[in-house]
Structure 1
Amino acid sequence: MHRILSTLAVALLSASAALAVPPSALDLPQIGEPADNTLSPTQEKQLGSRVMAQLYAGGYILEDPEITDYISTMGWKLAAASSTAPPPLTFFVVNDRRINAFALPGGFIGFNAGLLLAADHESEVAGVMGHELAHVTQRHIARTAEDTEVANVATWLAVIAAIIAGSADPDVVIGALSLGQTLSYQRQVSYTRAHEQEADRIGILTMSKAGYDPDSMASFFQKLEQQSRLYGGGIPEILRTHPLNTNRVAEARARAAEMPAVKRVDPVEFGLMRARTRVLSAERPSIAVDHFAGKLGAGQDDAEIRYGLALALAELGQYARAKDTLDPLVEKYPKQVNVQLLAGQLQMWTGDSAGGLATLERMIRLYPRYAPAILAYAEGLMAARRPEDARQVLLSHEQALGVQLQTYSLLAQAARESGNMAEASYQMASYLFLRGDAGNALAQLDAGLRLPDLDAKQRARLLAKRKEVRDSLPSNWRPPGERGRAT
């Protein structure tokens, strides 16, 4: 997996060709720039969606509502401070311990789990995020396509398909991007520097406006570079896809020095989500238990360590021990939503269903638009065999950063457990379609349309969704079981 992602990042961002201009001339692109003539925003979205579908299909995305919401909230905070309005953005975490981040066409920004684990402060994550956001707002991929004369979506889809196939041969990647044209090494390097300088400059300004420490971007990259020299083990992937040199770090530090100094205390959520990422990305929960238990035994008794140990123990099924470990945090942070959500779940898993539901319901009252709280309470209601109540919770609560994919999956489950199979087909199709799996979404809708007791309203709803899904597929698309048959 890491080879696919690193190759993808190199091919789409860092090794791509853009504007060959000196740093002093770099500025925000003008509306109606030539890139629109080659790759429109709609086409970029199509490309990014294709890549996301591949990542979902491969099980590479860490689909955890709390981590995703944390990253997305930070991302939108930075986007609000950006001088250039971004397109609709999707932030996601890749279940990969290698340290990397990358932007895809169409506003999809990915962060490896390893990036969160390597950061010592929230501003370091924000620095990388600001850099990647600049790649998106400056439309570097569209500018790459314009400069290299990659002229249509079909071509780019072929390029991305080849990249996702996992070729580790740089010549194949460069050949795919250039489409048979000759790209000299020096030209490639100079364009890479132009992209990275522009992303650094804009990213540092954005993170400063958003209230993060602007010096953290350069210091984080430099820290990783020093670690790779001291401890060996190869260069971190993020340094391969975002090449460093002394001048670039110095320029970034100089820009940061011109901005207001920020003395920032990290919120408790940063440590909690770092711990959560460590547990959920571990090869085995026992590895995470050993890590956090060792820290706690050495006297490092803080929120991150206790929360991480409790979550890891829960992943092992040791619910009573997990609850005992978390109890001091439950008392210390009565309104901290991540701590209380885990507490409510542990209450339910240790047999106190009523107490657990009460804790989860309290969180949804305190944070009515926080998607992870909505999902956790709905899951609790379904575990208590109250699917219709779960469905009402999901439908009646607006989610602050947009409806999460898990909402549709839970709605499908609630409908199925309530015996409403038409609704279950519709919601599961919505879930699959939004994940980029239009073929299986279509199969779900066809199964729903074959139900014997459909009323006219249900049939019309399923048919409308079927048309939407089918229109997204090529006209000659056929289900896998029918491919290769004689017509």
Structure 2
Amino acid sequence: MRGRPNPLTFCLALLASLVFAAHPAAAQSILRDAETEQLLLDMAAPLIEASELEPGNVELVLINDGSINAFVAGGQAIYVHTGLIGAAESANEVQGVLAHELGHITAGHVVRFNERTKAANGISILSLLLGVGAALAGAGDAAMGIIAAGQQAAMGSFLSFNRDQEAATDLAGVRYLSGAGISGKGMIKFFERLRGNEIRAGYSQTDEAGYARTHPLTGDRIQTLRGLLEEDRAWNAEPDPELQERFVRAKAKLFGYLSEPRRTLNAYPVRDTSVPARYARAYAYHKEARVDLALAEADALLALEPDNPWFLELKGQVLLESGRPKDALAPLRRSTELTRAHPLIAGMLGHALIATEDPANFAEAEQVLRASVQRDRYNPFAWYQLGVVYEARGDIPRARLASAEVQVMNRQYPQALANAQAAEAYLPYGSADWIRAQDVALEARAELERVKNRR
């Protein structure tokens, strides 16, 4: 058995835990897929226009997480979990979620969330300090009471603020769906799915339970939203069939890529010759190194749609990752052409060109990789491949700059600073790469200072 804790020790421990709890959580794993990213952007485009945000400023980021979630964590970026795409049955459902998340952006809820967190921490810290004072005065029971009341007040204030935010954001989502002429049926269906999951998981749906929640009760949200959405002129608008087909394909692709091959083959048996099933099976076979079967599925897809850039990317990926880079060049070149040099596909083409180990291909590799990183600087794999090209031709300053780009993205700030400074010293003065080396060095130095100050 454990004795009753010393009030002063307990107060100090709580104060320490509160300070440490303020540290940011570790970054989640980002999953890059050109097709899915483009799909999310296209689904969000009319909603972004309705929200009056600048389309080019809103970013959609796919997170490799099986939970059903989407969130905004700063700036104008919406993070979508793969689990949300897997749980949704239609593009319209995902659009309902995106409309809600856009509401968080337009209302500036991330900034207000941080402000409210500080306010709640202020209440907690004040109660702890008062508790410490009472404990030092010998009033142990009073100290414990002060702490408990302070913690309850802080949590109640914080949760109430979050519930109010979510309710306001639901209404903003309704406005954006209406403005875009998109039916709200998907939003309602998705909330109903969430409520079903909550009930199966044993979460209470009563008013008393709502006090301790970060979100309003799902049943209450559905009731409010249904009343608004059913009266909207877009309620009976037909969903975009092309968008729905693209969603079903991307969903199957993600399932095949992320799931165990056995699960994929059970969900999409060989007798199913639909496009989504072939897509999922191609990735399942590729994961098991059954190259002939993976290529057979890719070729069957291309027989239906010879100029589908994503099917060409699939074939090129299977060939490249199966040790056949020369054979991968043709489909990847065509995919790059059709997508107007999408950064991820251009990066894969650059990788294939280098993997041929033919110096004659290195000039083309440099060209496509430079185009890739110019359109998407946050692609460490493309930067790494570009560094390989530079090193192979003896351009060590640019090779070190490419290494610095990779290292700063991987939070290896000391190495990034050293490589950026070395690159700057030997690059042509005033050139674009020389200026970029300065920028990377400044970023790395600033991060090192921030880490030092936290200590």
The alignment's TM-score, normalised by the length of structure 1, stands at: 0.68
Superposed counterparts of 1:174-189, under 5 Å: 183=153, 187-189=157-159
Among 277, 281, 297, the alignment partner of 2:254 is: 277
Superposed counterparts of 1:282-293, under 5 Å: 282=259, 287=260, 289-293=261-265
**Residues 1:195 and 2:172 aligned together:** no
CA-to-aligned-CA distance 1:167-214 (integer Å, 9 cap, x gap): xxxxxxxxxxxxx78735554444333211221111233234445432
Q: Give the Cα separation in 1 of the matches to 2:269 and 2:202.
A: 29
Q: Give the Cα separation in 1 of the matches to 2:70 and 2:214.
A: 9
Is the alpha carbon distance of 1:464 and 1:277 closer, same or farther for their aligned partners in structure 2, counting shifts above 3 Å?
Answer: same
Are the counterparts in 2 of residues 87 and 137 from structure 1 also a CA contact under 8 Å? no
Are the counterparts in 2 of residues 275 and 308 from structure 1 also a CA contact under 8 Å? yes
Q: Which residue is 2:17 aligned to?
A: none
Any unmatched runs of 5+ in structure 2? 1-22, 123-149, 205-212
> 1:223 is aligned with what amino acid?
R
CA-to-aligned-CA distance 1:336-377 (integer Å, 9 cap, x gap): 221121122334456765543122212222221433332222
**Residues 1:248 and 2:216 aligned together:** no
C-alpha deviation, 1:442, in angstroms:
1.6
Are the counterparts in 2 of residues 205 and 214 from structure 1 also a CA contact under 8 Å? no
Bigger CA radius of gyration: 2
Are the counterparts in 2 of residues 132 and 199 from structure 1 also a CA contact under 8 Å? yes
C-alpha deviation, 1:314, in angstroms:
1.3
Report 1 or 2 for greater relative contact order, CA contacts < 8 Å, sequence distance ≥ 6: 1
Superposed counterparts of 1:296-315, under 5 Å: 296-297=268-269, 299-315=271-287
Q: Give the Cα separation in 1 of the matches to 2:450 and 2:238.
A: 58
**Residues 1:268 and 2:257 aligned together:** no
SS in 2 for 1:472: helix
Runs of at least 4 residues off by over 6 Å: 397-400
Is the alpha carbon distance of 1:278 and 1:418 closer, same or farther for their aligned partners in structure 2, counting shifts above 3 Å?
Answer: farther
SS in 1 for 2:221: helix
Segment drifting more, 372-381 vs 411-420: 411-420
Is the alpha carbon distance of 1:145 and 1:234 closer, same or farther for their aligned partners in structure 2, counting shifts above 3 Å?
Answer: closer
Q: Give the Cα separation in 2 of the matches to 1:216 and 1:304.
A: 21
Is the alpha carbon distance of 1:428 and 1:274 closer, same or farther for their aligned partners in structure 2, counting shifts above 3 Å?
Answer: farther
**Residues 1:428 and 2:403 aligned together:** yes
Q: Which residue is 1:326 aligned to?
A: 298
C-alpha deviation, 1:296, in angstroms:
3.6
Is the alpha carbon distance of 1:268 and 1:375 closer, same or farther for their aligned partners in structure 2, counting shifts above 3 Å?
Answer: farther
Among 19, 23, 40, the alignment partner of 1:71 is: 40
Superposed counterparts of 1:100-179, under 5 Å: 100-146=69-115, 150=119
Q: Tell me how many residue pairs correspond in the alignment.
A: 390
Are the counterparts in 1 of residues 100 and 170 from structure 2 also a CA contact under 8 Å? yes
Q: Which residue is 2:141 aligned to?
A: none
Among 385, 390, 395, the alignment partner of 2:370 is: 395
C-alpha deviation, 1:119, in angstroms:
0.9
Q: Give the Cα separation in 2 of the matches to 1:369 and 1:454.
A: 27
SS in 2 for 1:473: helix
Any unmatched runs of 5+ in structure 1? 1-49, 156-179
**Residues 1:259 and 2:233 aligned together:** yes
> 2:106 is aligned with what amino acid?
T
The alignment's TM-score, normalised by the length of structure 2, stands at: 0.73
SS in 2 for 1:109: strand
Are the counterparts in 1 of residues 342 and 372 from structure 2 also a CA contact under 8 Å? no
Is the alpha carbon distance of 1:466 and 1:336 closer, same or farther for their aligned partners in structure 2, counting shifts above 3 Å?
Answer: closer
SS in 1 for 2:30: coil
Aligned CA RMSD, in angstroms, stands at 3.8
Q: Give the Cα separation in 1 of the matches to 2:450 and 2:74.
A: 25
Among 189, 214, 217, the alignment partner of 1:219 is: 189
Are the counterparts in 2 of residues 97 and 281 from structure 1 also a CA contact under 8 Å? no
Is the alpha carbon distance of 1:248 and 1:118 closer, same or farther for their aligned partners in structure 2, counting shifts above 3 Å?
Answer: same
Q: Give the Cα separation in 1 of the matches to 2:414 and 2:391.
A: 21
Q: Sequence identity, in percent?
A: 24
Are the counterparts in 2 of residues 127 and 203 from structure 1 also a CA contact under 8 Å? yes
Q: Which residue is 1:416 aligned to?
A: 391
Are the counterparts in 1 of residues 413 and 445 from structure 2 also a CA contact under 8 Å? no
Are the counterparts in 2 of residues 347 and 356 from structure 1 also a CA contact under 8 Å? yes
SS in 1 for 2:318: helix
Q: Give the Cα separation in 1 of the matches to 2:362 and 2:65.
A: 34
Is the alpha carbon distance of 1:345 and 1:281 closer, same or farther for their aligned partners in structure 2, counting shifts above 3 Å?
Answer: closer
Q: Give the Cα separation in 2 of the matches to 1:182 and 1:292.
A: 47
Q: Give the Cα separation in 2 of the matches to 1:80 and 1:467.
A: 37
